[in-house]
């Protein structure tokens, strides 16, 4: 089975080469860290005798969600070594920024899922335990870890409706792959049922909750320092104008938001409103800045600092890992990936700062969370889909204008969001306790 999977992986990779080259040429960005992805890791990651906890997270959101988990485990195991892998370059940069305290040179790109590559990485790092955040299924990595007696834990697992439709057809194969996990900690009962239907052993599945509810960014020293830099470079303290912060936006959403901004600024009562855009992908920073200029707005970028753009209507957060700290300055928040079919991004971070949240209809990635927020009046959702952009602009304009005109409504919405967040806390501690028990057993059995 694993040989067939590897052969199919090679064929799939070959078929993707033309599209990957075109994408790289268009964005002037080629696959970073190729040698690491092929299993050639630096000496800084070589096993040095200490027990190793390897955390894997795909990109920015998953990497940030690790913080409370890693903080708890580092206090339980001060003698352990913590290493972090990601898939994306942006995720790696965030890992470097936020986990530098756990050692230099402790981040790397996750290996391509070939048996020989996975084995080389495992033999180089010699982890006592691997923790995979959210649901990433890498058959060869899992199989090679199992062969070496290395337990693998799935933490904060979730199965979206779209993924489930495809995964369940592979049940005969996945049922064998899932045996290589030590435990599968799922976010909700729905996720637990789905992964069981995909072939996971029922005795390995537990419901631990969503660790993203335990985000600990508010009030910590690192977040305060980042916030001060954002405030200074974007001149946020120089203005009392209302500020809409649009986080993790994608292609197609910024144009809608800028059309909405123009409509809001055309009204006397909200004519001073500004928009802070934080595009999800860094390669789009320049593109979004050009779009704002084409729409007739002045632009001030986080990396530019002060200058001629002092009174800019559009502010651009062209850095990574700073969005959570920027939310504190918002009058209201829009969360991206929801106006187009992307499934949405986390609404936890603005809720952490008790901000009123507006989202679009595409929320498959966080549906059960969004359902709770909507039902308890912790967020507002517009219904127009991307096929009707004019209606999206109209509905966003109405939602934003209503909130900008009524401070009490904003306060109530933000308070409800924070209340939901507080009520659901505790998943990170429950998850950490499970991981700690498995890690302690692995150390005893492995002698590390």
pLDDT by residue (tens digit) across 53-66? 999 999 888 898 89
Residue 8 has pLDDT above 80, yes or no: no
CATH 3.40.50.11720 fits 26-209+426-446, yes or no: yes
Question: Confidence band (pLDDT; 50, 70, 90) for 272?
Answer: very high
With beta carbons less than 8 A apart as the criterion, state whether 217 and 224 touch. Answer: no
Residue 346 has pLDDT above 80, yes or no: yes
pLDDT digits (tens, 9 = 90+) for 206-254: 999 999 888 754 445 567 888 999 999 998 887 789 999 999 999 999 9
How high is the pLDDT of residue 218? 44
404 to 83, 119, 132, 169: CA distances (angstroms): 44, 56, 41, 48
How high is the pLDDT of residue 219? 46
How high is the pLDDT of residue 404? 97
pLDDT above 70: percentage of residues in the chain = 91
Question: Confidence band (pLDDT; 50, 70, 90) for 20?
Answer: low
Please state which architecture CATH assigns to domain 221-423. 3-Layer(aba) Sandwich (3.40)
Name the CA radius of gyration of the chain, rounded.
23
How high is the pLDDT of residue 354? 96
Residue 24 has pLDDT above 60, yes or no: no
> Nearest-CA neighbor of 321 among 29, 30, 62, 56?
62
Q: How far apart are CA 400 and CA 384, in angstroms?
A: 15
Place of tokens 């967040």: 421
How high is the pLDDT of residue 162? 80
Residue 278 has pLDDT above 80, yes or no: yes
How high is the pLDDT of residue 165? 85
How high is the pLDDT of residue 221? 54
Among 305-314, 332-341, 417-426, the minimum mean pLDDT is found in 305-314
How high is the pLDDT of residue 367? 84
How high is the pLDDT of residue 4? 75
Q: Are domains 26-209+426-446 and 221-423 of this chain identical in fold?
A: yes
Question: Confidence band (pLDDT; 50, 70, 90) for 388?
Answer: very high
Helix or strand holding residue 26 (H, E):
helix 2-27
pLDDT digits (tens, 9 = 90+) for 93-146: 889 988 988 988 999 999 999 999 999 999 999 999 999 998 889 999 999 999
114 to 8, 13, 125, 130, 365: CA distances (angstroms): 11, 12, 17, 17, 28
Cβ-based neighbours of 423, under 8 Å, separated by 6 or more: none
Residue 316 has pLDDT above 60, yes or no: yes
Phi, psi of 103 (to 5 degrees): 130, 150
The 3-state DSSP composition of the chain as helix, strand, coil percent (nearest 5) reads 55, 15, 35
Q: Mean pLDDT of all residues in the chain?
A: 90
Residues 364-393, mean pLDDT to the nearest whole number:
93
How high is the pLDDT of residue 311? 85
pLDDT digits (tens, 9 = 90+) for 285-294: 999 999 999 9
Domain boundaries, the chain: 26-209+426-446, 221-423
433 to 28, 185, 254, 427: CA distances (angstroms): 44, 12, 41, 10
How high is the pLDDT of residue 121? 97
> Nearest-CA neighbor of 31 among 82, 117, 89, 70?
89
82 against 282, higher pLDDT: 82
How high is the pLDDT of residue 441? 92
Can you give the pTM of this predicted structure? 0.82
Question: Confidence band (pLDDT; 50, 70, 90) for 19?
Answer: low
With beta carbons less than 8 A apart as the criterion, state whether 134 and 64 touch. Answer: no
Q: How far apart are CA 307 and CA 284, in angstroms?
A: 22
pLDDT digits (tens, 9 = 90+) for 243-252: 999 999 999 9
Residue 306 has pLDDT above 60, yes or no: no
């Amino acid at each position: 089975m694993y040989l067939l999977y590897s052969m199919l992986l090679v064929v799939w990779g070959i078929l993707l080469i033309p599209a990957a080259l075109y994408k790289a040429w268009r964005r002037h960005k080629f696959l970073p860290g190729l040698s690491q992805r092929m299993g050639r890791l630096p000496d800084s990651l070589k096993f040095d005798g200490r027990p190793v906890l390897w955390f894997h997270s795909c990109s920015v959101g998953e990497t940030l969600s690790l913080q409370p988990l890693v903080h708890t485990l580092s206090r339980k195991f001060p003698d352990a070594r913590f290493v972090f892998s990601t898939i994306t370059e942006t995720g790696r940069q965030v890992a470097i920024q936020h986990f530098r305290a756990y050692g230099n040179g402790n981040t790397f790109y996750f290996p391509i899922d070939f048996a020989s590559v996975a084995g080389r990485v495992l033999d180089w790092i010699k982890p006592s335990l691997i923790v995979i955040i959210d649901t990433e299924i890498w058959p060869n990595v899992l199989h090679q870890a199992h062969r070496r007696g290395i337990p693998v834990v799935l933490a904060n697992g979730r199965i979206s409706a779209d993924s489930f439709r495809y995964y369940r057809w592979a049940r005969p194969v996945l049922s064998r792959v899932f045996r290589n996990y030590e435990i599968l900690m799922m976010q909700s009962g729905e996720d637990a049922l789905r992964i069981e239907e995909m072939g996971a052993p029922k005795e390995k599945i537990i419901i631990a909750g969503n660790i993203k509810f335990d985000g600990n960014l508010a009030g910590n020293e690192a977040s305060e320092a980042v916030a001060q830099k954002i405030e200074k470079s974007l001149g946020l303290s120089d203005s009392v104008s209302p500020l809409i912060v649009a986080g993790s936006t994608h292609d197609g959403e910024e144009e809608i938001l800028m059309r909405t901004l123009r409509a809001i600024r055309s009204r006397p009562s909200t004519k001073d409103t500004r928009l802070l855009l934080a595009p999800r992908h860094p390669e789009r920073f320049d593109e979004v800045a050009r779009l704002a200029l084409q729409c007739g707005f002045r632009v001030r970028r986080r990396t530019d600092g002060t200058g001629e753009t002092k009174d800019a209507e559009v502010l651009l957060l062209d850095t990574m890992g700073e969005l959570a700290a920027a939310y504190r300055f918002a009058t209201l928040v829009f969360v991206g990936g929801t106006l187009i079919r992307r499934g949405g991004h986390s609404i936890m971070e603005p809720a952490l700062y008790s901000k009123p949240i507006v989202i679009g209809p595409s929320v498959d990635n966080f549906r059960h969370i969004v359902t709770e927020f909507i039902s308890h009046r912790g967020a507002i959702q517009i219904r127009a889909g991307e096929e009707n952009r004019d209606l999206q602009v109209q509905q966003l304009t109405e939602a934003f204008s209503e909130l900008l005109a009524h401070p009490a409504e904003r306060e109530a919405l933000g308070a409800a969001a924070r209340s939901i967040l507080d009520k659901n806390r505790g998943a990170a501690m429950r998850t950490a306790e499970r991981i700690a028990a498995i890690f302690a057993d692995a150390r005893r059995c492995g002698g590390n």
